[in-house]
Amino acid sequence: MGLETSFEQLRLCAHRIQEYLDALRVTANEDRPQASHSALVDRIGNVLLDVRGLAEEISAGSASGVECLEHSFDLIGTRHALIHCQQAFQQLCRALAEDLVSYECVSELKSFGARRRGEWVLWSKSVKEGLDRLRFPVHDLSQALFQCWQDLTERVAGSLSISATNIGQQVKVEWQMEECEVHEAAQVK
């Protein structure tokens, strides 16, 4: 898979998570029973908003990476864009793990529904099911991010061979720059 294609897949996966989070925010904030207000509801809504913002950062970073490749073949800029995506992804995973899907959070959500009863039981089940469904798009995003790293390293990697001689060691570096040379030749014309 080419690096540009990998970045596009990363952008699509980040967009998919944004859609899941939007639907879950509707469930958590707008579909909640109107009888009373709760700090738990506010906290879940705020974390979902923060996580959505991180998914937007990943999407923007992937678009930036493609732009660096298409306009100036800037591998350093592409690497920085991918680093930004990786950092946002790690923050996204941390927020989900610590603030939404940890054992304590899920237990609090279940007991909240049981204590409030009625419509709150259904609300807490819907929110928990939405959180459970997030693991698939997060996994897909993780795989897309890994593919970007793999494609970037393959694009810039050189092969290194070491051989022993009577004199000592010889190190030979052969850069694999076929794609770069083709791109540079196209720019010269």
Task: Give tens-digit pLDDT for 155-174.
Answer: 877 434 455 566 666 655 55
Structural contact between residues 112 and 125, judged by C-beta atoms closer than 8 angstroms: no
DSSP state of 69: H
For the record, the structure tokens of 136 come out as: 């698939």
Q: Indicate the pLDDT class of residue 9, thresholds 50, 70 and 90.
A: very high
Contacting residues for 180 by C-beta, under 8 A, at least 6 apart:
73, 155
Instruction: Tell me the backbone φ, ψ of residue 173, rounded to 5 degrees.
Output: -110, 125
* Range 102-129 average pLDDT: 87
Question: Which pTM does this prediction carry?
Answer: 0.77
The full length of the chain comes to 189
CATH ID of 3-156, from 1.20.120, 1.10.600, 3.40.50, 1.20.1640 = 1.20.120
Domain range summary for the chain, segments of one domain joined by +: 3-156
